[in-house]
């Protein structure tokens, strides 16, 4: 028979490790049953022959209520390893859904899946690419939604929770993924321009958690009390350090545009490159590319001709090639191609992927060491090449 001392020597390490794991799980935001009476509501009386309904802690109730307002979005993708799913959140009981502006929305309609598994066709009714914001509308009523008037920006050091359909874990009525994190800092992406590939350059909440995963864009970050704090942004990678950034766009930046889109009063911001006195850094002609005429809102970025002796000609680009990607950014139109070229940094490498017949062809072109000088006067007429 084993002695009592020997039994204690076996059990104590296991009990100690179990206690440590419970402490870690509790600190990481995993919901663990809490026996404290002050946080648990009084249990409901069960009818004879039925089990008593489970009681939820305050944190569990908040997570359940928040998850009901987050949706899964499925749309365009499946090319060049682009994921065809993202997240969104309901901002009105009439079926308005805010999400991140991305390639997933490049469809006539996208599929929106609610918390209970119901599926709806969603259409884009408003967008502001400079804020990475889009608004969808589905034909549904009486939905649980976020009251934008109750949102607030948490301070640095505050604990937050993120809700999203990262990695397409949920496809039906399964709950979205929840992560715990801390607001590490509040900064602006302007300081990262030329390093991060993003059209948005406003304030962000940097989160000490791996929140920005495939499919997470458009999800939400909330406080421990459940107040809406921000929208999870796109995946951004630092091209110099090759590290990924985990951040959210504060609701203070998005509230008014969302409300204006819902009411039909929204006016998109003008492109800074279109403002008087501004000029793009580079144009297609700087690489020897002449594009087809830009006649509609989303004219595909087909190459009309390639200038002989140019860097485009040296890279093997040909007429009728369709530009699909610029530095891993999906190009949906000639306008988007010009906007991406306008933000390039001198002296670096331009990476393109073009479609030639039924094949995808990657090419690299050197970016000139000198960018175009700014226009001297706001009334100067654009150069002829800019229309190409």
| Structure-block tokens of residue 183 | 């607001």
Q: What is the mean pLDDT of the chain?
A: 79
pLDDT above 60 (res 42): no
Question: 245-267 pLDDT, tens per residue?
Answer: 899 999 999 999 999 999 988 87
Q: Which domains does the chain have, with CATH numbers?
A: 64-263 (2.40.10.120), 273-387 (2.30.42.10)
Q: How far is CA 224 from the centre of its chain?
A: 22
Distance from first CA to last CA of the chain, Å, rounded?
A: 90
| pLDDT-based confidence at residue 80 (cuts at 50, 70, 90) | low
Question: 302-333 pLDDT, tens per residue?
Answer: 999 999 999 999 999 999 999 999 987 888 88
Question: 212-234 pLDDT, tens per residue?
Answer: 888 999 999 999 999 999 999 98
Mean pLDDT of all residues in 134-163? 94
360: left (phi over 0), alpha (psi -120 to 50) or beta: beta
Quote the CA–CA distance of 47 and 189 in Å, as a whole number. 57
242 against 278, higher pLDDT? 242
Share of the chain above pLDDT 90, in %: 47
pTM value?
0.63
pLDDT above 50 (res 194): no
Question: 329-379 pLDDT, tens per residue?
Answer: 888 889 889 888 887 888 889 999 999 988 999 999 999 988 887 655 444
Mean pLDDT of all residues in 171-190? 89
Q: What element of type H or E holds 100?
A: strand 96-100
């Amino acid at each position: 028979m084993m002695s009592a001392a020997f039994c204690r020597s076996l059990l104590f390490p296991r009990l100690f490790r179990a206690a440590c794991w419970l402490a870690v799980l509790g600190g990481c935001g995993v919901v663990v049953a809490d026996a404290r009476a002050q946080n648990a509501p009084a249990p409901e009386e069960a009818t004879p022959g039925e089990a008593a309904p489970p009681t939820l802690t305050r944190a569990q109730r908040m997570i359940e209520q928040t998850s009901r307002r987050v949706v899964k979005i499925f749309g365009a993708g499946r090319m060049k390893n682009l994921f065809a799913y993202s997240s969104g959140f309901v901002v009105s009981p009439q079926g308005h859904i805010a999400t991140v502006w991305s390639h997933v929305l490049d469809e006539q309609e996208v599929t929106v899946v609610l918390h209970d598994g119901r599926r709806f066709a969603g259409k884009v009714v408003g967008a502001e690419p400079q804020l990475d914001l889009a608004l969808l509308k589905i034909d549904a009523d009486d939905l649980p939604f976020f009251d934008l008037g109750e949102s607030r920006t948490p301070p640095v050091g505050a604990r937050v929770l993120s809700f999203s359909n990262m990695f397409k874990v949920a496809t039906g009525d399964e709950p979205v993924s929840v992560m715990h994190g801390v607001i590490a800092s509040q900064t602006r992406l302007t300081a990262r321009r030329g390093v991060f590939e993003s059209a948005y350059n406003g304030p962000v909440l940097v989160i000490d958690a791996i929140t920005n995963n495939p499919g997470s864009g458009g999800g939400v970050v909330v406080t421990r009390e459940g107040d809406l704090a921000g929208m999870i942004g796109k995946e951004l990678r630092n091209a110099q350090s090759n590290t990924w950034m985990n951040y959210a766009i504060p609701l203070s930046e998005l509230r008014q545009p969302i409300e204006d889109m819902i009411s039909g009063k929204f006016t998109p911001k003008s492109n800074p490159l279109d403002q008087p006195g501004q000029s793009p850094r580079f144009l297609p002609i700087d690489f020897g590319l002449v594009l087809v005429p830009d006649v509609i809102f989303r004219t595909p970025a087909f190459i009309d001709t390639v200038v002989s002796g140019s860097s485009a000609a040296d890279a093997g680009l040909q007429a009728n090639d369709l530009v699909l990607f610029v530095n891993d950014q999906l190009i949906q139109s000639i306008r988007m191609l010009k906007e991406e070229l306008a933000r390039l940094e001198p002296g670096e490498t331009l990476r393109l992927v073009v479609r030639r017949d039924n094949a995808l062809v990657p090419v690299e072109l050197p970016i000139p060491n000198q960018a175009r000088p700014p226009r001297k006067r706001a009334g100067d007429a654009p150069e002829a090449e800019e229309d190409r």
